[in-house]
Amino acid sequence: MIRVVIADDHRLVREGIHALLDKSDDIEVVGEAGDGASALAMVKELSPDVLVTDISMPGLSGLEAAAQVTALGIPTAVVVLTMHAEEALARRALANGARGYVLKDSVTDELLLAIRAARRGGTYLSPAVSAALLTAPYPSAGAAADAVPASLTPREQEVLRLIGHGHTNRAIADALSISIKTVERHRTQLMAKLDVHNLVDLVRVAIRRGLIDLDG
C-alpha cells in the first residue's frame, strides 16, 4: 500500500484528490495539509511514501517543502501537482528533489501514474511539461553546453540510454544485471560529467549532444 499525504490550500481540491486516490486499491491517504509548513510537519510525523503538493501555498511553498524533504533525507517522494506548466517551475521542482510534476488539468489519469512511479524511485512528468523541458534552451547554452563531454564508459552509455527511454533504477538494474546502488552511482557520475543537476536535464543534454537517440 502506498501511503500518501496531500497538501493544497484549497479544501475542495484536497477533497477531490482524496476521492480520486481512494478509488485505487494500492493507495491510502494518511493525511491532508493546507499549507507547506503543515505538510512538512506531517511528513516528518507520518513518513508517508509520497507527498502530493501544490506549488502556491501560504508560508512554505510546495517547492520549498520539496527542498526541505530532500535536505532532511526523508525517504518520502514528492509529486508536485499544479496548474503551472512553465518550464522554469518544473526545472526548479526537479532540482529540489521532486519525483513528479503533474498538471491539474490531467490529474485523473496522470496523478496515479506519478505516485506509483515516485514510489518505485522513478520520475513522472506530464507530457506537456516533459516536452517543454526537452525543447527549451538549456540555461547554460553556449560554448560550455556544446563542449565535448568527458569520455563516458560503455556501461555509462548503456545506463544513459535506458534513462533516456524512461526506465527506473530498478528496471535498469534488472536489464544490466547490476545492483540499484550501482545504477545510482552511474547516474551520479553521468550528471557530474555532463554538468547537470537533475534527471530531465541529463536526458536533454544527452539528446543535444547526440549521446542518446530516443527513437532507437
Question: Looking up cell 499549507, which residue turns up?
Answer: 35
97: number of Cβ within 10 Å? 18
Backbone angles phi, psi at 215, to 5 degrees: -85, -10
Establish if 25 belongs to a structural domain: yes
Establish if 119 belongs to a structural domain: yes
Alpha-carbon torsion (19, 21, 26, 30), positive or negative: negative
Under a CB-based contact definition with an 8 Å cutoff, are residues 24 and 112 in contact? yes
Q: What is the CATH number of the domain that holds 201?
A: 1.10.10.10
Domains in the chain, number: 2
- The grid cell for 27 is 493507495
Under a CB-based contact definition with an 8 Å cutoff, are residues 99 and 78 in contact? yes
Establish if 48 belongs to a structural domain: yes
68: number of Cβ within 10 Å? 20
pLDDT of 143 reads 40
- The grid cell for 17 is 484528490
- Give the SS3 label for residue 12: helix
Establish if 216 belongs to a structural domain: no
Helix H or strand E segment including 51: strand 50-53
Domain end position, chosen among 102, 118, 135: 135
- Give the SS3 label for residue 7: strand
Domain that holds residue 147: 143-208
Establish if 197 belongs to a structural domain: yes
Domain end position, chosen among 118, 135, 152: 135
Same domain, 117 and 14: yes
pLDDT of 136 reads 63
pLDDT in tens, the chain (216 residues): 999 999 999 999 999 999 999 999 999 999 999 999 999 999 999 999 999 999 988 888 999 999 999 888 889 999 999 998 888 888 888 888 899 999 988 677 789 999 999 998 888 888 888 777 766 655 544 444 444 455 788 888 888 888 777 677 888 888 899 998 898 888 888 888 877 777 777 777 776 666 665 554
Same domain, 187 and 119: no
Predicted model pTM: 0.68
